[in-house]
Amino acid sequence: MSSDSFSFAMGEFTAKFPADRMYARNHMWALQTTRGRWRFGLTAYAVRLLQDVYFLEWTFEPDTSIAARQLIGAIESKKAESDLYAPIAGVLVAINDACLADPSIINADTYGDGWLFEMESEEVDLLLSPDDYRAHLVEAWEIAQRTIKGQANT
């Protein structure tokens, strides 16, 4: 692992993850922009599974208190339609309007301009370190492979 990123093999595709941020079990990254303020986006793992994101909607407007794991929106792509859940509790303070207008930004620059929203919170104990997220990816990838192959119930 280099000091600035780590990789995870997803079959023939290798996903890269910046080491300068935290991660959530729902495959979002979290970057602290200022003390107590966190920017969130989808990881390369999530984007690879979704493929070609083309629709994004939010259930809440900024300045709304959100509970951890609360439904906050939805995303649609070539492969799937998925609900989006808050990775932590806090106050939703910003939504990336550029990404809302053109969700394909998520595909092109998931760790930069493709960020989704920002929250203010001090309750970040649900977030994972890069090492803990890498371990989570191993387990998640095994489940994803079974699902992709139609073997989720075996």
Burial class, 151, CB count within 10 angstroms (exposed 0-12 / middle 13-18 / buried 19+):
exposed
Q: At 148, is the pLDDT very low, low, confident or very high (cuts 50, 70, 90)?
A: low
128: which DSSP letter?
Answer: B
Q: What type of residue is 50?
A: L
Question: Encoding tokens for residue 5?
Answer: 């990123």
Return the higher-pLDDT residue of 29 and 140: 29
Q: How much is the pLDDT for 120?
A: 97
- Kindly report, residue by residue over 3-30, the tens digit of the pLDDT: 698 888 877 888 889 999 999 999 999 9
Indicate the average pLDDT of the chain: 89
Cα separation, 124 vs 129, in Å, equals 11
Half-sphere exposure (Cβ direction) of 6: Cα atoms closer than 13 Å: 16
Please report the domains of the chain, with CATH numbers, ordered by start residue: 5-148 (2.40.50.100)
Q: What is the pTM of this model?
A: 0.88
DSSP state of 18: E
**pLDDT digit string, tens, across residues 85-107:** 999 999 999 999 999 999 999 99
